Amino acid sequence: MPIATPAQYRAMLDAAQKGGYAYPAINVTSITTINGALRAFSESKSDGIIQVSTGGGKFASGTSVGNEAFGAIVLAEAAHRLAEKYDVLIALHTDHCHPSAVDSFLKPLLQASRERIAEGKGPLFQSHMFDGSVVPLEENLAISKVLLKECAELDIILEVEAGCVGGEEDGHDTSGLPAEKLYTTPEDMVDVYEALSPLGRFLFAATFGNVHGAYKPGAVKLKPTILRDGQKAVTDKYGAAAEMDLVFHGGSGSDLDDIRETLGYGVVKMNIDTDTQYAFTRPIVAHLCQNIEGVLKIDGEVGDKKLYDPRSYLKKAEIGLANRLKVACDDLLSTGKTIYGTV
């Protein structure tokens, strides 16, 4: 079954770290976007990560329900079934859970995994993100330690963040923060390692000027060397084995040189959402514009059912998303490197 087991997920991360590549982690909101992601990873022969945000879960639950955890469970269960048809490994992850959403989002998902494990299955998600960057680092790490301990008991990896990713995405808005908040310090990196490494495996979203959203070239000033310096501070103190698995948030629209540079500093996962949202929506817009008289019932006409059937444009959207995600696999050097069948 291509949804990775906990052991396979760890092997994926180990392979990326050793091989100098990273996995695209794409946010999904529907069956169609899951299918687009699975198609892309399969055609690229790349393992990958599919993730759900609080907003994505709320959307997927339906406008009359609006329950973020319930929607995330629905998407995850669907992904487990859909991924059975593909020959790459897929890990399921959740994105940007702030402290205020731990009880309403993260805890119900951990409980869902606990129930699956009791039934002899694996956890529903292989990793979760706790975004404590909105609180002081000491408080962030105190909460992270409690959550990591609970995750470790379920064989789940926890992703944490110190420093803030700028911009706005899916309700996560830090656009008003001062510039210095966008950069994690070496001291922060050491603090994170010392607090969490005894408790279980974790992913660390260190920030180096990365920003959510879409920007013109040159607008975002990334400093990947921050990751290098932070990793060095940790390994100088605790040895080479202490190198952390890092996450690149705000990957959409980044320069390829910056993306590739981060791979040498321990990035094994890069989030992509804005670019794949656009790649999904652009074919829909083209379909509607090119077929407006068939899509709309103009001047008393009946339109063309084949053109306003949602399947006619959502198939194009799925392919558009898949094609953009395949570019991300190429950018992150994960293309052709699936470990499916070897672990």
d(CA 234, CA 244): 8
pLDDT digits (tens, 9 = 90+) for 98-147: 999 999 999 999 999 999 999 999 999 999 999 998 899 999 999 999 99
pLDDT value at 332 more than 90: yes
| The two structure tokens encoding residue 163 | 């420093």
Which amino acid type is present at position 246? L
pLDDT value at 314 more than 90: yes
In this predicted structure, which of 23-27, 179-183, 186-190 has the lowest mean pLDDT?
A: 179-183
| The two structure tokens encoding residue 207 | 């920030």
pLDDT digits (tens, 9 = 90+) for 233-286: 999 999 999 999 999 998 777 889 999 999 999 999 999 999 999 999 999 999
Is residue 95 annotated as part of the catalytic site, yes or no? yes
What pLDDT sits at residue 222?
86
Instruction: Tell me the pLDDT of the chain averaged across its residues.
Output: 92
**Cβ atoms of 204 and 159 closer than 8 Å:** yes
Strand-pairing partners, residue 162, are 206
What pLDDT sits at residue 214?
55
pLDDT value at 62 more than 70: yes
Burial class of 336 by CB neighbour count within 10 A (0 to 12, 13 to 18, 19+):
exposed
What pLDDT sits at residue 167?
46
Residue 102 DSSP class: I
d(CA 210, CA 272): 12
Q: How confident is residue 293, by pLDDT bands cut at 50, 70 and 90?
A: very high
pLDDT digits (tens, 9 = 90+) for 39-56: 999 999 999 999 999 999
Burial class of 288 by CB neighbour count within 10 A (0 to 12, 13 to 18, 19+):
middle
Percentage of the chain with pLDDT > 70? Answer: 91
d(CA 251, CA 343): 29
**Cβ atoms of 184 and 229 closer than 8 Å:** no
Active-site entry in 95, 155, 275, 331: 95
User: How big is the CA angle at 122 (ends 118 and 125), to the nearest 5 degrees?
Assistant: 115
What pLDDT sits at residue 198?
98
Q: How confident is residue 69, by pLDDT bands cut at 50, 70 and 90?
A: very high
pLDDT value at 329 more than 60: yes
**Rg, the chain, Cα only:** 20
pLDDT value at 165 more than 80: no
CB within 8 Å of 239: residues ≥ 6 apart: none
Neighbour tally for 62: CB within 10 Å: 12
Q: How confident is residue 166, by pLDDT bands cut at 50, 70 and 90?
A: very low
Strand-pairing partners, residue 48, are 90
The domain limits of the chain are 6-331
Percentage of the chain with pLDDT > 90? Answer: 84
Give the architecture (CATH level 2) of 6-331: Alpha-Beta Barrel (3.20)
